[in-house]
Amino acid sequence: MQELIKGQFADHITAMQAVAELLSPIVADTVETICTAMTAGRKILVMGNGGSAADAQHFAAEFIGRFKLERPSLPAIALTTDSSILTAIGNDYGYDAVFSRQVEGLAAAGDIVIGISTSGNSPNVLAALKLAREKGCITVSLLGRDGGSIKAVSDIPIIVPSNDTPRIQEAHILIIHIICDLVERRLFTH
């Protein structure tokens, strides 16, 4: 049992080392993009399904509340949280529209719309990011595997180079924390 546990930790460390080497410049670009948008009064909308829905909520909470610094709230909305909206849209338009319908009503040009999908192929995330681009939003995605169909509609695709869903999810939350930390530092420390 302990060897299996150590193996899981070793797999995590190996995956995170690859992520650090490959994705650090892309994460830095994402931080700059978010800081520029927020300085201009824009907001973030973030979405995902399952564990990625929880990550979307976590991401928005770090901006609205705080990450490490006491500072003003930053505008972020998780599109995964309103059960009335989700169930009404799912019932009336289908599940593939649960995020795009919210992007239609809430996103404005210059906002950042972030999609999280370990497979890179979530139809509802894909539809929302396509619409966000049409509206003049900046699209960012946290993906896994080869980036799937979502990478093509992402201005900034952050693709974790792994086929193992748990490692992809672990990398996504680490990247989210890094982004939140650096955005706070950039906007609120002098």
The domain containing residue 46 runs over which residues?
2-188
Q: Can you tell me the distance from the alpha carbon of 31 to that of 9, in angstroms, rounded to the nearest whole number?
A: 28
So what's the pLDDT on residue 127? 98
User: Would you state the pLDDT for residue 140?
Assistant: 98
Give the tens place of pLDDT for each residue, 78-106: 999 999 999 999 999 999 999 999 999 99
Q: What pLDDT, on the 0 to 100 scale, is given for residue 190?
A: 74
Q: Give the whole-angstrom CA distance, residue 179 versus residue 186.
A: 10
Number of Cβ within 10 Å of residue 57's Cβ equals: 17
pLDDT of residue 66: 95
Per-residue pLDDT tens for 58-75? 999 999 999 999 999 999
18 phi and psi, to 5 degrees?
-65, -40
pTM: 0.96
Summarised one tens digit per residue, pLDDT across range 156-185 is 999 999 999 999 999 999 999 999 999 999
Sorting pLDDT into bands at 50, 70 and 90, what band is 24? very high
Amino acid 133: pLDDT? 98
The CATH number of the domain holding residue 106 is 3.40.50.10490
Cα–Cα nearest to 187, from 11, 36, 5, 14: 36
How many separate domains does the chain show? 1
